[in-house]
Amino acid sequence: MAPALTRRAAKERTRKRLITAARDLILSGHETRLAASAVAKRARVAGATFYEHFRSRDDLLKALADDLFDELREKLAKSRREALAAPSNEEKLRQEFQTPLDVLAANPDLFRLSLRVRHYPASPLGDSSRRLSGNTRGDVVEELVARGYPHDSPEERRRLEMIADVHIAATEVLALGYLSGRYPDLNEVADMLVLVTHGTRLARGWRG
Amino acid sequence: MAPALTRRAAKERTRKRLITAARDLILSGHETRLAASAVAKRARVAGATFYEHFRSRDDLLKALADDLFDELREKLAKSRREALAAPSNEEKLRQEFQTPLDVLAANPDLFRLSLRVRHYPASPLGDSSRRLSGNTRGDVVEELVARGYPHDSPEERRRLEMIADVHIAATEVLALGYLSGRYPDLNEVADMLVLVTHGTRLARGWRG
DNA sequence: AGTTTCACCGATAGTACTATCGGCGAATGG
DNA sequence: CCATTCGCCGATAGTACTATCGGTGAAACT
């Protein structure tokens, strides 16, 4: 008789169960350490089974971190592509803030996790979150270049990074304020972010 | 014969040794958990002695967190008072960014710690760091009010908080970029932050 | 059918840490 | 000078977790 599940499929299924369990635990925000035993328990497998799928706790964390932050980066990138579809330039600028804001607001657990682990030293989660930050900065710099900001000299490129950092930090802090209930209106938040660009774009005139 | 050290003084000295040891460990950035046993070891006292001075690990963390972040807040507040001494209004604005930047740059370990623990859930360090953030926001809002920003309606006060959040987040992210070597010139950073205010101050004209 | 493979499991050795207990000896106080 | 207090300590019970080992039964292979 044919088996209900091939070994390969069953193992894949268990692995997914473990990753999903880990994901749920870490996104809940209560777990700081994410113990292998807790993951196994939640996935309803024995502790030893965990080590059939991952060499160590850190091995799972690495897989999980890539999983989570690649997902967030993909969502943010998609939202930016959508923003480019806006008709006018002014509207495009606004959408370039509005759509990432929507993504962060729609994924509060993931967003909060990325903030929480960003400064973890020597942790797969920290590494992955910092990689996401670096990538995002690069993406925003590209937007600035597309909007006509000068990027020929190293000084100019450094300034673009500064501007991108400011825009991202402002977006994140206001998104967090929205999630915590302090700023109830995302449109107002987007308006504020557009104003920030009215300041930072004055740096286009700098010499040096 | 008179003792070399009274009991009271000796105990106080041991307590300070423990706090200093904890401080060194947590500021080094390598310790995530700050084990009571590690603190005792570094202070060169027995593990049991730790509990003569603190009821639990969290009790020490609480004392330590207040200690550390009160210190940082005091330094930031002092720097802002100095900034107010600048002659012209334009210079004053710049100094209100320059002096906090100097403080963060001069205390990289403390600054990095405050970022690292800011989003820790249910931890004395996290609580204290968030309290520092809230206080700083309030301080910056006061500066904005002093600079003539409207603050009569709840909407206006909410906008002041948004602006303060943006200014603080921008300051922090660029200070971090300075510390990581990405932005080598603190003056350039301060110039960028002044530009940010040229954007955010446009919100003074908002109605609602 | 008989043999091999392997996904899973229970049990457990090993590690790290928290917090407590009983006792020692020096400071304290009559 | 004697009794008491208390700051410190070594030892250790208790807890939580990591990772491994040998065994079991069903799938895979021949």
Predicted ipTM?
0.94
Whether B10 sits with its Cβ under 7 A from any strand D atom: the answer reads yes
User: Which residue of A129, A161, A168, A195 to mutate against B (max B Cβ within 10 Å)?
Assistant: A195
Looking at the predicted structure, is the pLDDT value of residue B1 above 60? no
pTM value is 0.95
Going by C-beta distance under 8 Å and a sequence separation of 6 or more, which residues neighbour residue B154?
Answer: none
Q: What's the token pair of residue A63? A: 């897989």
Band the pLDDT of B143: cuts 50, 70, 90: very high
| Mean pLDDT (chain A, rounded) | 95
Band the pLDDT of A85: cuts 50, 70, 90: confident
Q: What's the token pair of residue A42? A: 């939640």
pLDDT digits (tens, 9 = 90+) for B166-180: 999 999 999 999 999
Number of Cα atoms under 13 Å in the Cβ half of residue B101: 27
Of A132, A147, A192, A129, the C-alpha closest to A166 is A192
Give contacts of B202 with chain A, Cβ < 8 Å.
Answer: 195, 198
| Mean pLDDT (chain B, rounded) | 95
A184: helix, strand or coil: coil
Band the pLDDT of B90: cuts 50, 70, 90: confident
pLDDT at res. B151: 96
pLDDT digits (tens, 9 = 90+) for A98-152: 999 999 999 999 999 999 999 998 899 999 999 999 999 999 999 999 999 999 9
Residue B203 near residue B163 (C-beta atoms within 8 A): yes
List chain D nucleotides near protein: any atom < 7 Å from a Cβ: 6-12, 16-22, 26-28
pLDDT digits (tens, 9 = 90+) for A157-195: 999 999 999 999 999 999 999 999 999 999 999 999 999
**Mean local confidence (pLDDT), B94-118:** 97
**Alpha helices (H) in B84-203, listed in sequence order:** 89-106, 108-117, 124-146, 154-179, 186-200
Whether A153 sits with its Cβ under 7 A from any strand D atom: the answer reads no
Distance CA A118, CA A129 (A): 5
∠ at Cα A169 (B191, A65), nearest 5°? Answer: 140
Looking at the predicted structure, is the pLDDT value of residue A86 above 90? no
Q: Which nucleotide is nearest to A46 (CA to C1')?
A: C9
CB contact under 8 A, B162 and A168: no
Looking at the predicted structure, is the pLDDT value of residue B181 above 60? yes
Looking at the predicted structure, is the pLDDT value of residue A5 above 80? no
Give contacts of A32 with chain B, Cβ < 8 Å.
Answer: 120-121
Number of Cα atoms under 13 Å in the Cβ half of residue B100: 29
Amino acid sitting at position A73: R
Q: How is chain B split among helix, strand and coil, in percent rounded to 5?
A: 75, 0, 25
Q: How is chain A split among helix, strand and coil, in percent rounded to 5?
A: 75, 0, 25
Give residue for tokens 């509005």: A98
From the list B168, B177, B195, which residue is nearest A199 (CB)?
B195
Band the pLDDT of A2: cuts 50, 70, 90: low
Band the pLDDT of B208: cuts 50, 70, 90: low
pLDDT at res. A205: 86
Residue of A nearest to B162 (CA): A174
CB contact under 8 A, A172 and B169: yes
Looking at the predicted structure, is the pLDDT value of residue A65 above 80? yes
Residue A93 near residue A194 (C-beta atoms within 8 A): yes
Taken in order of first residue, the domains within chain B and their CATH numbers are 1-54 (1.10.10), 68-205 (1.10.357.10)
**Mean local confidence (pLDDT), B196-204:** 95
pLDDT digits (tens, 9 = 90+) for B39-85: 999 999 999 999 999 999 999 999 999 999 999 999 999 998 899 88
- Which protein residues have their Cβ less than 7 angstroms from some atom of strand C? A 7-8, 10-11, 13-14, 44-49, 52-53; B 3-8, 33, 35-38, 47-48, 51, 55-58
Q: Which nucleotide is nearest to A47 (CA to C1')?
A: C9
pLDDT at res. A11: 97
Looking at the predicted structure, is the pLDDT value of residue B124 above 80? yes
Distance CA B160, CA B156 (A): 6
Distance CA B12, CA A11 (A): 59
C-alpha A111 chain-centroid distance: 6
Distance (Å) from the alpha carbon of B158 to chain A's nearest alpha carbon: 7
